[in-house]
Amino acid sequence: MGINSSRFTKYHFWISIASIIVALLSLEATIRLYDSLAGYGFLSQHRNKIANSNQSNRSIIPFRTFGFPLYTTISNKKHILSRHGEIYPLEKPQGTFRIVAFGGSTTENEHSYTNTKSHYPLLLQAHLRAELNTHNIEVINVGNSAYATPHSLILFELDVLSWEPDMIIVSHNINDLLTAYWPDFQFDYSNKYGTKYYMPVMYNLSTTDRLFQQSSLYWFGRDKVDRLQSSHANIISRKSYGNHLDPHVTDTFERNINTIIAIAKQNNIKVLLGNQPLQRNEEYFDNHMAYKRYNDIVKYPLHNEFIVHHDTFNRIIEEVAKEANVLFIDNDSFMANEEKLFIDYIHYEPEGVEILAKHYADFILANNIISIN
């Protein structure tokens, strides 16, 4: 009786295992069929975060950690790639006035590029070429989402100097400012950029991610779990910082900008510093920041304090420009609080990008900055 009972138990155990396997395979097939009907194809890997991440197949970029490729090779010659893939010769053509635009997402203009294939440096280039009736003007976009002054400083020193720019445009604020709200401020911003949130995807993969990466069912389930776990991040935590930031924060920002200027002057490169427009409506801030994955560790200031902090950084930019005797353009007064120009508190609609580009072009032309030999 005991032997028969043991056989019966083993039989049901293996039947259960087989049933689970069949059920999982059926669910996998169902999800793939759904994807096929949605136009992705039955064997599509569009759910696979490893296969589809822009950063998953690349190592950490030295010094910058993350970003975009700066170069491509055409006919055995190295060329410069702008943020959105425009190609420029590495060796600056004779008689060309080359401008390089540094910044974060407000220079990258991803939303505008996705919808209109335009970004402010590209539009600025078009304006200047049209007004001066020449194609010998280049405006290269090296802005990247989340980049702060250290990223631009590294880019400038290690790469852009070799491009022999005649002028650089530098516009930073929010990404540097936000480091003040992450725990334990560090001068190199590692309290923010050293966290998992800014590491390439491949460095945050689990063993199960790698083991089941070909399974649509796995990624479907993983996505649902991630959404449940991150639902708490929709709540923005605030505390009062007062109107005056830690001097280490403001001093570091000022020092980084001054260092960029010093490198430029040493290499006879003109500098144009631009402050950053801000849509001051608190709802615009909340709508963008509420879904950040790091909201469980970041404490934002009261909104009226945040506005003061942002204005403080903009004022630092203007004061540094005056003290260093370099060019300064006031973008904030020109665009701030024009709701139709913003998609959130800091990023621009395509119309805002067009207006910003025209503002830069008018300033450059009015000040007779460009000289072409």
As a whole-number percent, the residues of the chain with pLDDT over 70 amount to 89
Q: Are 113 and 357 in contact (CB under 8 A)?
A: no
Which CATH number describes the domain made up of 52-366?
Answer: 3.40.50.1110
The residue-averaged pLDDT of 4-31 equals: 78
- Strands in 77-81's sheet, in edge-to-edge order, are 71-74, 77-81, 87-89
* pLDDT in the model for residue 56: 40
Q: Are strands 87-89 and 77-81 parallel, antiparallel or unpaired?
A: antiparallel
* pLDDT in the model for residue 338: 85
Calpha distance 264→157 (Å, rounded) = 9
DSSP state, residue 137:
E
Whole-model pTM above 0.85?
Answer: no
* pLDDT in the model for residue 57: 44
Q: Read off the pLDDT of residues 324-343 as tens digits, 9 standing for 90 and up.
A: 999 999 999 999 778 899 99
Calpha distance 31→19 (Å, rounded) = 18
Torsions phi, psi for 271 (to 5 deg): -125, 130
* pLDDT in the model for residue 4: 60
- Paired strand residues for 78: 73
Domain spans of the chain? 2-44, 52-366
> Does residue 117 surpass a pLDDT of 90?
yes
> Does residue 24 surpass a pLDDT of 90?
no
Q: How confident is the model at residue 3 (pLDDT cuts 50, 70, 90)?
A: low
Of the ranges 52-56, 59-63, 238-242, 358-362, which one carries the lowest mean pLDDT score? 52-56
DSSP state, residue 204:
G
Going by C-alpha positions, the residue among 238, 360, 224, 255 that lies closest to residue 298 is 238
* pLDDT in the model for residue 55: 43
Q: Read off the pLDDT of residues 159-188 as tens digits, 9 standing for 90 and up.
A: 999 999 999 999 999 999 999 999 999 999
As a whole-number percent, the residues of the chain with pLDDT over 90 amount to 67
Q: Read off the pLDDT of residues 193-218 as tens digits, 9 standing for 90 and up.
A: 999 888 877 666 777 777 667 777 77
* pLDDT in the model for residue 25: 82
Amino acid at 309: H
Other C-beta atoms lying within 10 Å of the C-beta of residue 233: 18
Q: Are 360 and 124 in contact (CB under 8 A)?
A: yes
